[in-house]
Structure 1
Amino acid sequence: MNSETNVLVVEFLDYLKIEKGLSENTVKSYRVDLYEFFKIISKSYEKIEKEDIYTYIDNMRNKFKNNTVQRKVSAVKTFFKYLYMNKKIKKDPLNTIKLMKKETRLPEIIDEEEFNKIIETFNHNPKDVRDKLILKLLMASGARISEIVNLDVSNIKDNDYRYIKVLGKGSKYRFIPIYDKIADEIKEYIEKEREEIKSSKKDYKLFPGASRTTFYLKLREKAKNAGINKNVHPHTIRHSVASLLLKNGLDIRYVQELLGHSSITTTEHYTHVEKSKLKSIYDNVGLGDDVE
């Protein structure tokens, strides 16, 4: 694997860990699969062709069971899709390779009590105030961590702190509504803590010094300090918001708009309901229970 390919693989693994919230073990599996692929094919990423994946599959079938081969091929496909979506390649050479569908594994969620426990672990120093506000925005909006840490002060609509303009996937902007209490906290933070943190007068970031990686590490630390034995990461917050909104009856299309999903199919992944909860709802509705 040449150095340029290696850099892109590392970026991709960071994306899986921080943006998608995959576990350490899952990210490690991706790393092993990708390094194995490029070792066998011996080409740089921009020279990979569709035929190369078939060569790789034939090689893997001599060593592993079908399910393992499917997982390894899926890892390679996901990597090249990432490259294409981020304009690192002009065409995805593996786009037409078909795989068996697998069950979508959803991340854990945290409830309001656990969220409040994490909030309570933050101190009053400027950077903790900044990061606590980032966490509150994530929980209030369901936005992606990259959308929040990349905000500029100018993303606040007409100085109305109740609406923030975020740049989502596909370079699409959307406005997200903010609770009045958090809007007041944003205004106070801009006037005080942000002034202490920003490196220069030309630093227009709403949260100067914050990044996906630094916030992920801070969130993991705070969750541990709060005694929460879950793999808490920014995507956990996003998933928790979606699940809570749907559970409380918000129309799925509004949730789709809030989260910035281009397809409602993605939003539908969050519509899981515990069987006991579903049975309770069904019993309360009582459809047909008066029919003799």
Structure 2
Amino acid sequence: MDFIEEFLQKTKADGKINSSTLVIYRKDIEDFDGFIVGKELIDVETIDVVKYIEELKKKYSDMSVYRKISSLKSFYKYLLKAKIIDETPIKGIELSNRVKRSTQALEKWELKKILDVCNESYEERRDSLVIRLLYETGLKIGDILNLDRENLEKYEYKMINLYSSTKIVTERVSEKLAEDLKKFSEESSVKMYTNDNKIFSGLTRESFRVRFINYGKRAELDRDISPNMIKKIIVEEKTRDEEGLSFLDRIREQYMRIGIGDD
């Protein structure tokens, strides 16, 4: 019996986890299953988990170890409740309290390495554009995923205008990004989703987060990353200089100097 699949389906049906967490749970449990070679998951003993934690600490931060073991705790709690096992092998194992840390900014060289590993497939071209938009505009991922072709075409892909009952946001993008967005929209996106006006149709916040983390691993970054670390770069770049201008203010100043943005 596939106990992992049974656990995931039951937990999802109960509404306890979303799609993103489902992917994380599956990977965490399958990684442990791969570690206990020659032993079934239902036959695991506490010593097996202890050895696994020791191995994890060689590769991951305390926060990541905490999360991975938390996934296993949920899995074995389910097996215990379903009376598949008589006792959880994680009982009595205590990990250090999860360290609360403020989100660190992604380094620019790390961002470049992530973009460099994206290939020319439809999905990875799309993801790289989303990453670049997050960096250049500082917009939320939800706003970027909702961008539609009509609005982008209206401003030749050089400006993003968002309107709602609570906000009006206008952000410019670089000439190169505008050019790449236009090419992607006209040559790829519209062909994949002919009846959808959204330029990034098919991508959700949860799936993008999972894919972004995977790009970090492919780029061989030696720390855990997440999309909100891109936002942190923007926050740091908004720090005022001696003249009271931020990095983004300087960019806008250049836009006006060369005539982009004049009425």
Q: TM-score of the superposition, structure 1-length normalised?
A: 0.49
Structure 1 stretch 170-179 or stretch 141-150: which is displaced more? 170-179
Measure how far apart 1:105 and its partner are. Answer: 4.0
Measure how far apart 1:28 and its partner are. Answer: 9.6
Q: 1:156 is matched with which residue?
A: 152
Residues 207/248 of structure 1: CA separation in 2 closer, same or farther (3 Å cut) = farther
Counterpart Cα distance in 2 of 1:211 and 1:173: 23
Q: Is the 8 A contact 1:156 1:164 kept in 2?
A: yes
Structure 1: 5+ residue stretches without partners: 18-22, 33-67, 72-103, 259-292
One-letter amino acid matched to 1:210: L
Q: 2:232 is matched with which residue?
A: 239
Residues 22-60 of structure 1, C-alpha deviations (whole Å, 9 max, x = no match): x7657998xx9xxxxxxxxxxxxxxxxxxxxxxxxxxxx
Q: 1:208 is matched with which residue?
A: 201
Q: 2:140 is matched with which residue?
A: 144
Which runs of at least 4 in structure 1 moved beyond 3 Å after TM superposition?
A: 23-29, 247-252
One-letter amino acid matched to 1:106: S
Q: Is the 8 A contact 2:159 2:172 kept in 1?
A: yes
Q: 2:222 is matched with which residue?
A: 229
Counterpart Cα distance in 2 of 1:239 and 1:207: 23
Aligned with 2:119: secondary structure?
Answer: coil
Counterpart Cα distance in 2 of 1:10 and 1:244: 35
Say yes or no: does 1:174 pair with 2:181.
Answer: no
Query: What root-mean-square deviation, in Å, do the aligned CA atoms of Structure 1 and Structure 2 show?
Result: 3.9
Q: Is the 8 A contact 2:190 2:199 kept in 1?
A: no
Percent identity between the aligned chains? 21
One-letter amino acid matched to 1:134: V
Q: 1:188 is matched with which residue?
A: 183
What is the total number of aligned residue pairs between the two structures? Answer: 174
Aligned with 2:223: secondary structure?
Answer: coil
Counterpart Cα distance in 1 of 2:240 and 2:113: 22
Measure how far apart 1:202 and its partner are. Answer: 2.1
Say yes or no: does 1:130 pair with 2:126.
Answer: yes
Measure how far apart 1:159 and its partner are. Answer: 3.1
Q: 2:255 is matched with which residue?
A: none
Structure 2: 5+ residue stretches without partners: 1-10, 25-62, 74-96, 253-263
Residues 167/187 of structure 1: CA separation in 2 closer, same or farther (3 Å cut) = same
Say yes or no: does 1:197 pair with 2:192.
Answer: yes
Counterpart Cα distance in 2 of 1:26 and 1:217: 15
Residues 152/28 of structure 1: CA separation in 2 closer, same or farther (3 Å cut) = farther
Q: TM-score of the superposition, structure 2-length normalised?
A: 0.54
Say yes or no: does 1:112 pair with 2:105.
Answer: no
One-letter amino acid matched to 1:173: I
One-letter amino acid matched to 2:204: S
Measure how far apart 1:157 and its partner are. Answer: 6.7
Counterpart Cα distance in 2 of 1:246 and 1:162: 25
Measure how far apart 1:181 and its partner are. Answer: 1.0
Q: Is the 8 A contact 2:113 2:219 kept in 1?
A: yes
Counterpart Cα distance in 2 of 1:135 and 1:220: 12
Aligned with 1:118: secondary structure?
Answer: helix
Q: Is the 8 A contact 2:104 2:229 kept in 1?
A: yes
